[in-house]
């Protein structure tokens, strides 16, 4: 079943067309890597899926609904620097903010909300730190808080913006294992990443984006170096090809 459908989407920001003619589908139990150079529009596309930026053309549907209608079924993990880590709350409270859309701004969490947060903290192995102030956490612990915050919503679609950047190997392994568990349970995952080898290893499909979709397929289907050079807008890059383990 298709969870995310993007058809002919264009996005204009500040009078400049940053995305055009974007087509992408993600089915339940799929983990798709969204790959492209800086400025390719990856984060903008995620924000369009969340209804945070308007689309100029095309349509985005999540479980058959518009982004605004489906917001309660989308979990979003932003880049760590986008979160206010100096805010005086503990780990559990930060995770509970993931359910604000369902609870409402002026209502107290109910039993179902508390249970969902407990399950999310257990999945990222943070129950023991649930009362620790978020300002005292390490980088890896902070990333797991953001994942728990997204999972507290019990989403059908999980959007990850550079989830592995700056993490130590143990934390990367914890999250990689968790993401695989989630896909086995039916969650659809779309993640942006600059870690190309990890994306090729962990994602069943890769979507190469540079203002539009340049290529979309399994890692094996995208072994041609010319595809990657075109996606990254370069004529030749030995560093890029070496990181991918491909040769011209």
* Domain CATH for 181: 3.40.50.300
Position 106 scores a pLDDT of 66
Position 34 scores a pLDDT of 97
Position 238 scores a pLDDT of 56
* In-domain check, residue 166: yes
* In-domain check, residue 112: no
How far, in Å, CA of 94 to CA of 229, rounded?
40
Position 100 scores a pLDDT of 80
Domain residues for 184? 2-88+156-244
Q: What is the mean pLDDT of the chain?
A: 91
Position 202 scores a pLDDT of 87
* In-domain check, residue 125: no
Phi-psi region of 21 (alpha: psi -120 to 50; beta: other; left: phi over 0): left
Position 242 scores a pLDDT of 58
* Closest of 95, 41, 103 to residue 72, by C-alpha: 103
Position 241 scores a pLDDT of 59
The arithmetic mean of pLDDT across residues 163-179, rounded, is 92
* In-domain check, residue 11: yes
Q: Is the pLDDT of residue 171 over 70?
A: yes
* In-domain check, residue 17: yes
* In-domain check, residue 26: yes
How far, in Å, CA of 173 to CA of 180, rounded?
11
Q: Is the pLDDT of residue 189 over 60?
A: yes
Q: Kindly report the pTM of this predicted structure.
A: 0.91
The arithmetic mean of pLDDT across residues 222-241, rounded, is 76
- pLDDT tens digits along 124-138: 999 999 999 999 999
Radius of gyration of the chain (CA): 18
Count: domains in the chain: 1
* In-domain check, residue 118: no
The arithmetic mean of pLDDT across residues 131-154, rounded, is 96
Q: Is the pLDDT of residue 195 over 90?
A: no
Split at pLDDT 50, 70, 90, the class of 200 is confident
Position 235 scores a pLDDT of 62
How far, in Å, CA of 230 to CA of 137, rounded?
40
* In-domain check, residue 59: yes
- pLDDT tens digits along 29-64: 999 999 999 999 999 999 999 999 999 999 999 999
The CB-side HSE value for 58 (13 A sphere, CA atoms) comes to: 23
Position 30 scores a pLDDT of 97
How far, in Å, CA of 130 to CA of 95, rounded?
9
């Amino acid at each position: 079943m298709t969870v995310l459908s993007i058809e002919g989407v264009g996005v204009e920001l500040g009078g400049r067309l940053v995305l055009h003619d974007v087509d992408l589908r993600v089915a339940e139990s799929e983990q798709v890597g969204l790959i492209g150079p800086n400025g390719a529009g990856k984060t903008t596309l995620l924000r369009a899926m969340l209804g945070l930026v308007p689309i100029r053309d095309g349509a985005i549907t999540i479980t058959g609904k518009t982004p605004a209608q489906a917001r309660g079924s989308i979990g979003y993990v932003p880049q760590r620097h986008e979160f206010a880590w100096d805010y005086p709350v503990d780990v559990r409270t930060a995770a509970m903010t993931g359910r604000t859309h369902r609870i409402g701004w002026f209502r107290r969490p109910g039993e179902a909300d508390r249970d969902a947060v407990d399950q999310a903290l257990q999945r990222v192995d943070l129950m023991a730190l649930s009362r620790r102030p978020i300002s005292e956490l390490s980088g890896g612990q902070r990333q797991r808080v953001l994942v728990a915050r997204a999972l507290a919503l019990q989403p059908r679609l999980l959007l990850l913006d550079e989830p592995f950047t700056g993490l130590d190997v143990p934390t990367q392994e914890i999250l990689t294992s968790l993401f695989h568990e989630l896909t086995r349970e039916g969650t659809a995952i779309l993640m942006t990443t600059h870690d190309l080898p990890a994306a090729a290893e962990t994602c069943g499909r890769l979507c190469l984006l540079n203002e539009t979709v340049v290529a979309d397929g399994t890692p094996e289907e995208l072994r041609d170096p010319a595809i990657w050079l075109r996606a990254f807008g370069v004529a030749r890059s030995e560093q890029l090809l070496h990181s991918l383990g491909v040769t011209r």
